Amino acid sequence: MALSKPAATSADVGLVGLAVMGQNLVLNMADHGFKVAVYNRTTATTERFVADNPPAVFGDTGGGLVPAADLRDFVASLKRPRRIVILVKAGGPTDAVIDSLVPLLDKGDVVVDGGNALFTDTMRREKALGEKGLLFVGSGVSGGEEGARFGPSLMPGGRREAWALLEPIWVACAAKVDAKTGKPIEGARPGKPVQGGVPCTTYIGPGGAGHYVKMVHNGIEYADMQLICESYDILRHAKGLSPEAISKVMREWNQGDLDSFLIEISADVLQQRDPVTGAPFVDVVLDAAGQKGTGKWTSVNALDLGVPTGSIAEAVFARCISALKDERVRASAVLKGPTAPSPLEISVDAVRDALYCSKLCAYAQGFALYTAASKEYGWNLDLGAIAQIFRGGCIIRARFLQKITEAYQRQPALENLLLDPYFAAQVEKAQANWRSVVAKAALDGVPAPAFSSALSYFDSYRRKTLPANLLQAQRDYFGAHTYERVDRPRGEFFHVDWPDSKRPELKASELGMSR
């Protein structure tokens, strides 16, 4: 079908980029009564999308599609102030779309980048558009294709006046959770969106805050997925369970504290049979994982801010080493591990406890990173509100997040989730099982980098004294980097005039100590 020129100012909002996520978000907005202008660089894509979604799809919602073959016609079809959502590949393609739009816009119009942008790019774009009198929102959109269609978690950042223009659309389209329980409200379908409930969106903060929160969300997601995979690996190779049996275990876990989208889909995957061979589907999937960079961005930023997020980093590195498939196959013929299982016995419940405690540490790391970034960039992030909008729509949605929300409601300035009384008690109760699982994995040669890193994080965080005293003494010895003393106030630095290596007989009492 050929696209006719749309009527001027006939659309409430516009979207550029009709890949799967873009198409689903358009349908979501139209389901909620918005007339959505749509544009794609390839006009045939727009034509097919409009043909597949005639007005009848949206019933009596009042919503619908306003297609345009030309970018100028697309902009002209929007009511003022214009609201334009961009959902194209991050980086150069996003910049290209923005550059094409800017000459066609008027002061006060708002451009929304809904892609997985690096938050520093968002800060740059907001500054550049602000100088032209335009508003810019960098918004995380989490939930995958299904979330975009029926209710994602939305994380908008930018100026408050920009959020005011976007808010009615984002609140309508976001996933909804029950006000009392925090559980996602299910049942949305084409033309019949969910009614009522608490929307999984809120104003995050200025500048790149929205995309930053999405970035760290993805870093937590990396850790969560890796921890589930390690649970599967331990159950299969240390407990000898089949994929189908592990699926049943995970379905049981999904009835309790580990209830989550990722556990649910893992159980689905593990019960699936390959339609070609009839073997367990997971056994025909090559063990080489891909990634798009957000986990790496999280880890790099954590290093920049000096925040320990080892579980997230180990999840990234696990994907990196998985990609060395051919090299690992060659190494397996040379390097040998344990020749027999260890006598240490672990239960399925122990693996569940290890997953729960490790998951808590991964979230604690992510939220500690939010705290540091909020101070560094002046964002004043509300961690309780962030936890609330993760309860539905997003990939890491889980029952667990209601407890995190409650933790920050009790203590908005909570230093670390591990210090919340509820979570501290949970770890105290479960840590013996956690330790036994990590030990069993090590003794049996089952790699568990995220489990091990999470346990080390917990043990490091709970220790009053760490071996960093020796490390700092080493630094003072070889580089005169100075050190602080346990018997002096923090902030006072000292240096020892260390002996020449050729004079080992020099006594400690003869050393000169200077401040």
For 131-142, the three-class secondary structure string (H helix, E strand, C coil) is CCCCEEEEEEEE
Judge if 197 and 236 occupy the same domain: no
Q: Residue 503: its pLDDT value, please?
A: 41
8 Å CB contact between 450 and 456: no
Question: Which residue among 126, 176, 221, 296 is the active-site one?
Answer: 221
The answer on pLDDT for 372 being more than 70 is yes
Complete DSSP assignment for 19-84: SHHHHHHHHHHHHTT-EEEEE-SSHHHHHHHHHHS-GGGGTTSS-EEEE-SSHHHHHHTBPSSPEE
Which residues are registered as beta bridge partners of 186? none
Judge if 41 and 70 occupy the same domain: yes
200-238 confidence digits (pLDDT tens): 999 999 999 999 999 999 999 999 999 999 999 999 999
Q: Which of 86-95, 171-180, 396-405, 501-510 has the lowest mean pLDDT?
A: 501-510
Assess if residue 6 is contained within a domain: no
User: Over the chain, what is the mean pLDDT?
Assistant: 94
**Residue 495: which H helix or E strand, with range?**
strand 495-497
Q: Residue 159: its pLDDT value, please?
A: 97
Q: Residue 331: its pLDDT value, please?
A: 98
The answer on pLDDT for 512 being more than 80 is no
Phi/psi at 219 (5° precision): -65, -45
Domain-ending residue, one of 421, 446, 462: 462
Judge if 280 and 397 occupy the same domain: yes
The answer on pLDDT for 505 being more than 90 is no
Q: Residue 1: its pLDDT value, please?
A: 61
HSE-up of residue 504 (Cα within 13 Å, Cβ side) = 0
Across the range 132-153, mean pLDDT stands at: 96
Residue 371 lies in domain: 211-462
Name the band, by pLDDT with cuts 50, 70 and 90, for residue 299. very high
The answer on pLDDT for 484 being more than 70 is yes
> What size, in residues, is the chain?
515
Q: Residue 3: its pLDDT value, please?
A: 83
Q: Residue 20: its pLDDT value, please?
A: 96
Pull the structure tokens for residue 353: 């406890």
Across the range 508-512, mean pLDDT stands at: 44
Q: Residue 504: its pLDDT value, please?
A: 41
pTM, two decimals, is: 0.94
Assess if residue 384 is contained within a domain: yes
Structural domains in the chain (count): 3
Judge if 324 and 442 occupy the same domain: yes
Judge if 269 and 376 occupy the same domain: yes
Q: How far does CA 326 lie from the centroid of its chain?
A: 29
Phi/psi at 323 (5° precision): -70, -15
The answer on pLDDT for 246 being more than 70 is yes
Judge if 442 and 489 occupy the same domain: no
360-370 confidence digits (pLDDT tens): 999 999 999 99
350-359 confidence digits (pLDDT tens): 999 999 999 9
Judge if 184 and 270 occupy the same domain: no
> Rounded CA gap, 490 and 174, in Å?
47
Judge if 229 and 194 occupy the same domain: no
Q: How far does CA 412 lie from the centroid of its chain?
A: 21
The answer on pLDDT for 506 being more than 60 is no
* 296: three-class secondary structure by DSSP: helix
Q: Residue 501: its pLDDT value, please?
A: 53
Phi/psi at 514 (5° precision): -125, 155
Tokens 């960098």 identify what position? 138
Assess if residue 250 is contained within a domain: yes
Distances (CA, A) of 296 to 216, 292, 499: 10, 9, 43
Buried b (16+ CB within 10 A) or exposed e, 233-245: bbbbebbebebeb
Judge if 473 and 438 occupy the same domain: no
Q: Residue 499: its pLDDT value, please?
A: 81
Domain-ending residue, one of 174, 190, 207: 207
Assess if residue 314 is contained within a domain: yes
Pull the structure tokens for residue 341: 């299982």
The answer on pLDDT for 511 being more than 70 is no
Name the band, by pLDDT with cuts 50, 70 and 90, for residue 329. very high
> Rounded CA gap, 236 and 246, in Å?
8
99-129 confidence digits (pLDDT tens): 999 999 999 999 999 999 999 999 999 999 9
> Rounded CA gap, 353 and 347, in Å?
10
Q: How far does CA 62 lie from the centroid of its chain?
A: 34
- We report the CATH number of the domain holding residue 300 as 1.10.1040.10
8 Å CB contact between 352 and 339: no
Phi/psi at 399 (5° precision): -60, -35
The answer on pLDDT for 507 being more than 90 is no
Question: Which residue among 35, 126, 176, 214 is the active-site one?
Answer: 214
221: annotated active-site residue: yes
Assess if residue 4 is contained within a domain: no
Q: What percent of the chain has pLDDT over 90?
A: 89
43-96 confidence digits (pLDDT tens): 999 999 999 999 888 888 889 999 999 999 999 999 999 999 999 999 999 999
Judge if 215 and 91 occupy the same domain: no
Domain-ending residue, one of 172, 187, 207: 207
192: annotated active-site residue: no
Judge if 415 and 333 occupy the same domain: yes
* Alpha-carbon torsion (280, 286, 287, 293), positive or negative: negative
> Rounded CA gap, 170 and 164, in Å?
10
268-289 confidence digits (pLDDT tens): 999 999 999 999 999 999 999 9
Judge if 336 and 441 occupy the same domain: yes
Q: Residue 107: its pLDDT value, please?
A: 97
